[in-house]
Structure 1
Amino acid sequence: MRGSPVHRQAQKDYRWEGVDRLAYKEEGSAPFKDISRQVLIADENLACELRYFEMAAGGYSTLERHEHVHGVMILRGRGHCLVGNEVRAVAERDLVTIPPWTWHQFRAAAGEPLGFLCMVNAKRDKPQLPSEDELAAIYQNPRVAAFLDGRMAELDGA
């Protein structure tokens, strides 16, 4: 039979039978902290890929953008996400859509891991990192700057 296995049983700690826990990206390729990925479904008969990302407490993904859309469902924990110029608190079962060419990043809260499913096109472009000028423009929004600098308490009004 071609394609993905029909069934992969869930294991403890947000792991699945026969699914490797992989590095998020190559070290030094882009800024990120304490995050891993698992490719849950990558079947040649589908036009999409389903992945699970998990970051340790205080971890974060890379600030980047792509040509493709992302569909995200938070499965575990709490944190914040940046989509464009908006920062939102996220928690279990929340859904996030990231439009094409939109800057985005996820950050786990200080006290717990953040895990989410992410669906993307099976054939997709590589991520783009912001240039110095683009990053300076992104930092003009004080709420976004607080998010990018990891000043989460400011985002929650604490």
Structure 2
Amino acid sequence: MTLPASRLLYLLAFIICIVLLLIALYMEHYMGLLPCPLCIIQRIAFVLIGLTCLAAVIHNPAPRDGRGRAGAARAYGVATTLFAGLGAAIAGRQVWLQYQPAEQLPSCLPSLDYMMDVLPLHDMLGLLFSGTADCAAVTWTFLGLSIAECTLIAFIGFTIFGLVQIFRSRD
């Protein structure tokens, strides 16, 4: 069994990223589910994956150049894998927070605008990545899975996709 062309797979991955981001915006603006700091970081990871996939579609690098190298094709796979791995780590952290007792969770954070004005970047990022009680709240489920669990599955899928593209460029 042979896989479809990389360009088609990257286009499909890009479309999936767009659909996931549209779902997130629908949930925020029409269902009233406000994103927590970890949710926002996950959205950024989906944007980065989508932009990487779009660049791969537009560039359409050859799996191998005339000298047997696959630098650009492999680079898109590596970038996709890295962004998806980052997203999976953040979603995994949020899933972990959701299974912690409420009394062990950190309190709510000040607004992002306030933190950007007052805190150094390093401290602000540390607070954002640590998560809060807001991040542990399960306000919606699909097939018994929280939003964070659904996005974790999506990030794992994108990580596998990126790894397949890396090793595919070696053929």
Question: TM-score under structure 2 normalisation?
Answer: 0.23
Write 1 or 2 for the structure with the bigger share of strand. Answer: 1
Relative contact order (C-alpha < 8 Å, sep 6+): which is higher? Answer: 2
Write 1 or 2 for the structure with the bigger share of helix. Answer: 2
Question: TM-score under structure 1 normalisation?
Answer: 0.25
Structure ID, larger Rg: 2
